[in-house]
Amino acid sequence: MVKAYLLREGLSEAIASAENTHDWMQEKSLADIILMCEYDTANHIQACKTGFEAWKTLKDLYNLDGFTSKYLLLQKFYQTLQADFETVEAYVSKLKSILDNLAAQDLKMPEMANIAWLLQNLEPEFGPFVAQVTQSLRVDPQAYNWESLTVNLLDEAKRLEVSKPSIQYVKNWKKNKPTAIFCKYCKLRGYTDNNCAFLHPEKAPKGWKTSNSKAAFKVQKTS
């Protein structure tokens, strides 16, 4: 990707040779390479003075046949946590990308180890999902593979995202002190039917969806 970008910017000569190139070209290519690298990778080239030097350093570092490349990928894999990503989909995609790169270097991780690491680093809200998956795997070790697990995980993430606003809405109202004021429609205390989010979605808190009303009523009745 970096090479393609430099080619598009007319800087391919800078990484081909340190000679017969303008100083500005070396400086610009160095800046572009650093900006396209992740923080840990950029640390390896922070002392470089030219784009050619930085390119050669990275090329030697990430040699497909070298130990360093495999080591850095493994390190990145075991440092990848769901908490570092805005979405579960981004977390899963990052892990998959690293695993694909490892496989390309003839270092294929055991699938069960990959699944265990994925589950271990999920946020607490996925606790029931993790429990269900681990129970299924105890009964049948072939119950899930990486593909089927991630599909189910993404579905669970969407379900949690949909149910979160309405369930939290009900819980917030239940924290209110007892009052004679209540909504005749949803039976929750603290407000009248004129301010009921089920009847008036435009007055609902941010994230509220009328399609969640059924789930919210279930919470109300069971809590």
Q: Return the pLDDT at 221.
A: 42
- pLDDT surpassing 50 at residue 218: no
CA–CA distance from 107 to each of 5, 30, 73, 80, 120 (Å)?
A: 28, 31, 10, 18, 22
Size of the chain, expressed as the number of residues it contains: 223
Question: Confidence band (pLDDT; 50, 70, 90) for 162?
Answer: low
CA–CA distance from 217 to each of 98, 102, 172, 185, 198 (Å)?
A: 43, 48, 14, 11, 10
Contacts of 61 (CB under 8 A, 6+ apart): 44, 68, 69, 72
- pLDDT surpassing 80 at residue 23: yes
Single pTM value for the model: 0.51
- pLDDT surpassing 80 at residue 127: yes
Per DSSP, the three-state class of 87 is coil
Residues 90-113 have pLDDT tens digits of 999 999 998 988 888 888 889 999
Instruction: List the domain boundaries for the chain.
Output: 2-61, 67-144, 162-222
Residues 31-71 have pLDDT tens digits of 988 888 877 777 878 888 888 888 888 877 766 566 777 88
Q: Return the pLDDT at 91.
A: 92
Average confidence score pLDDT of the chain:
78
Q: Return the pLDDT at 140.
A: 93
Alpha helices in the chain (DSSP H): 2-8, 12-16, 23-36, 39-42, 51-61, 67-78, 88-104, 111-120, 127-139, 146-174, 213-222
182 strand-pairing partners: 189
Q: Return the pLDDT at 46.
A: 83
Q: Return the pLDDT at 129.
A: 93
Residue 85: left (phi > 0), alpha (psi -120 to 50), or beta?
Answer: beta
DSSP states of 195-222 as a string?
Answer: G-TTT-GGGSPTT--GGGHHHHHHHHHH
**44 contacts 84 by C-beta, under 8 angstroms:** no
Residue with tokens 């808190």: 205
Query: Tokens at residue 53, please?
Result: 């030097």
Count Cα neighbours of 26 within 13 Å in the Cβ-side half-sphere.
15
Q: What is the dihedral of CA 182, 187, 193, 195, to 10 degrees?
A: 80
Residues 170-212 have pLDDT tens digits of 545 555 545 556 777 777 766 777 878 777 877 776 655 554 4
Q: Return the pLDDT at 128.
A: 92
Q: Return the pLDDT at 189.
A: 66
Task: Select the more confidently predicted residue: 87 or 20.
Answer: 87
**57 contacts 89 by C-beta, under 8 angstroms:** no
Q: Return the pLDDT at 63.
A: 64
Q: Return the pLDDT at 6.
A: 76
* Mean pLDDT within 142-155: 94
Task: Select the more confidently predicted residue: 149 or 1.
Answer: 149
Distance, CA of 211 to chain centre: 26
Q: Return the pLDDT at 216.
A: 46
**C-alpha triplet 13, 46, 79: angle, nearest 5°:** 110
